[in-house]
């Protein structure tokens, strides 16, 4: 691994906390906060999908959802990732980019194939946030060989500020890393 790809010091801590969650699906749920078009905060849950670089994480979303408009306007986002078993919280700030199938068809196709048939179905539903129409369509599954929808988006977040709060020791441990200081660790009060 070359220097550019060397893992930042917070990554092993995050990986260890994630490992303690075991197979619980909730271990990969992150809360994504963005700035609403009206200037007020918005937050929602997304599934963490993968790391695409040492400090870059990939999520998946739907181009038709409100958050995409918000992120295009204000790409600065914050994620909160809670690890219940480890009793640790990570707050991650970064700059988000939305990647369409025309932008990186290989990465998106890989993520699309990796989804389960029920996991894929939400992208076959009518636009999120529209008034509910029971006619749908509301498929429960989308098969492995289905073409990826054009509104699938990779939400790629380049992280620049990470904070960890570990409730296990006394006193609690709170640490901060900034990419601007080469991820040098700072201990701050909990």
For ligand FMN, give the closer residue by CB, 65 or 74: 65
Considering the complex, state which of residue 17 and residue 32 has its C-beta at the smaller distance from ligand FMN: 32
- In which region does residue 183 sit, left (phi positive, over 0), alpha (psi from -120 to 50) or beta (all else)? left
What is the Cα gyration radius of the chain?
Answer: 18
Interacting residue ranges for ligand FMN, rule: CB under 6 A:
29, 42, 44-47, 59-62, 65-67, 128-129
Report the distance separating Cα 164 and Cα 172, nearest Å. Answer: 10
Measured in residues, the chain has a length of: 190
Least separation in angstroms between CB 66 and ligand FMN: 4
Q: Tell me the closest approach of the beta carbon of residue 65 to ligand FMN, in angstroms.
A: 3
DSSP 166-177: E-SSSSPEEEEE
Give the shortest CB-5-to-ligand FMN separation in angstroms.
26
Of the pair 78, 166, the CB lying nearest ligand FMN is at 78
Task: Give Cβ neighbours of residue 136 (< 8 Å, ≥ 6 apart).
Answer: 125, 126
State the nearest-atom distance from the C-beta of 153 to ligand FMN, in Å: 8
The nearer residue to ligand FMN, 122 or 176, going by C-beta atoms, is: 122
∠ CA 144-149-154, nearest 5°, is 95
């Amino acid at each position: 691994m070359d220097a550019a790809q060397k893992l930042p010091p917070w990554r092993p801590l995050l990986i260890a906390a994630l490992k303690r969650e075991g197979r619980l699906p909730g271990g990969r749920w992150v809360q994504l906060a963005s700035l609403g078009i009206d200037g007020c905060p918005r937050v929602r849950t997304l599934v963490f999908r993968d790391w695409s670089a040492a400090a870059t994480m990939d999520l998946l979303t739907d181009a038709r959802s409100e958050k995409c408009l918000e992120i295009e306007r204000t790409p600065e986002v914050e994620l909160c990732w809670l690890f219940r078993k480890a009793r640790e919280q990570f707050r991650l700030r970064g700059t988000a980019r939305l990647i369409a199938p025309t932008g990186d068809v290989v990465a998106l196709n890989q993520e699309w194939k990796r989804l389960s048939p029920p996991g894929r179905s939400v992208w076959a539903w009518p636009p999120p946030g529209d008034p509910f129409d029971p006619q749908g369509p509301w498929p429960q599954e989308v098969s492995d060989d289905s073409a990826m929808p054009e509104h699938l988006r990779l939400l790629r977040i380049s992280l620049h500020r990470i904070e960890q709060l570990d409730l296990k020791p006394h006193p609690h441990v709170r640490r901060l890393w900034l990419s601007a200081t080469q991820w040098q660790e700072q201990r701050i009060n909990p």
